[in-house]
């Protein structure tokens, strides 16, 4: 696996190596030993799989306090624009947005540390997203930021008429409320 710094401390783009032959392909998508050798200490406790159609925007979500989660996000099929927002108030990158295309074809994964809001837009006809988390979901500690917050200036790469949101995601406050 290749690990690439994104310019935001702790936020890392990972590209697994692909081994291909006449039978198909093999990819190692997670290796705890390799991550620990780079100082990345995570114990993932849950995998989540999400199926969505074109235009769906999920997020921006995060867990607060002791329920905060690190995530390792990848795409099984399709293409998404994955977005992370640094909410660590002591970070020099506070409220900085990072986005990257994750797809079945490029096999990129995004390692998002605790303290970030996370969301994505589905750019293909459909997408299947798989992500590992290092802490269990807590309904009482669920939080979010409005996905169209003008302060964040996120280009979701979708026409406004194509954007599909949950009602809940449109009720989250703007980043200035954090």
pLDDT in tens, 32-72: 999 999 999 999 999 999 999 999 999 999 999 999 999 99
User: Is 61 noted as a catalytic residue in this protein?
Assistant: yes
- Extents of the domains making up the chain: 44-177
Distance set, CA 23 to CA 18, 28, 78 (Å): 13, 16, 22
- In sequence order, the β-bridge partners of residue 122 are 80
pTM of the complete model: 0.94
Q: Phi and psi at residue 48, in whole multiples of 5°?
A: -125, 135
Choice among 61, 108, 118, 146 that is catalytic: 61
The CATH number, out of the four listed (3.40.50.720, 2.60.120.10, 3.40.50.1000, 3.40.50.1220), of the domain defined by the range 44-177? 2.60.120.10
Distance CA(43)–CA(163), nearest Å, equals: 34
User: Is 30 noted as a catalytic residue in this protein?
Assistant: no
Choice among 42, 62, 120, 131 that is catalytic: 131
Q: What is the pLDDT of residues 142-171, one digit of tens each?
A: 999 999 999 999 999 999 999 999 999 999
Distance CA(120)–CA(168), nearest Å, equals: 15
Q: Phi and psi at residue 135, in whole multiples of 5°?
A: -150, 150
């Amino acid at each position: 696996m290749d690990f690439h710094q994104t310019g935001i401390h702790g936020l890392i783009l990972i590209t697994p190596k692909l081994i291909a032959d006449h039978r198909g392909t093999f990819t190692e998508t997670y290796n705890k030993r390799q991550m620990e050798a780079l100082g990345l200490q995570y114990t993932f406790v849950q995998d989540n799989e999400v199926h969505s159609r074109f235009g769906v925007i999920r997020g921006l979500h995060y867990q607060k306090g002791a329920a905060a989660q690190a995530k390792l996000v990848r795409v099984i099929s399709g293409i998404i624009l994955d977005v992370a927002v640094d909410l660590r108030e002591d970070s020099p990158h506070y409220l900085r947005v990072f986005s990257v295309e994750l797809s079945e074809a490029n096999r990129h994964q995004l390692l998002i540390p605790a303290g970030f809001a996370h969301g994505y837009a589905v750019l293909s006809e459909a997408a299947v997203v798989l992500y590992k988390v290092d802490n269990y979901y807590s309904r009482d500690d669920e939080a979010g930021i409005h996905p169209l917050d003008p302060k964040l200036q996120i280009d979701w790469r979708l026409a406004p008429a194509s954007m599909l949101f949950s009602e809940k995601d449109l009720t989250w406050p703007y980043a200035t409320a954090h």
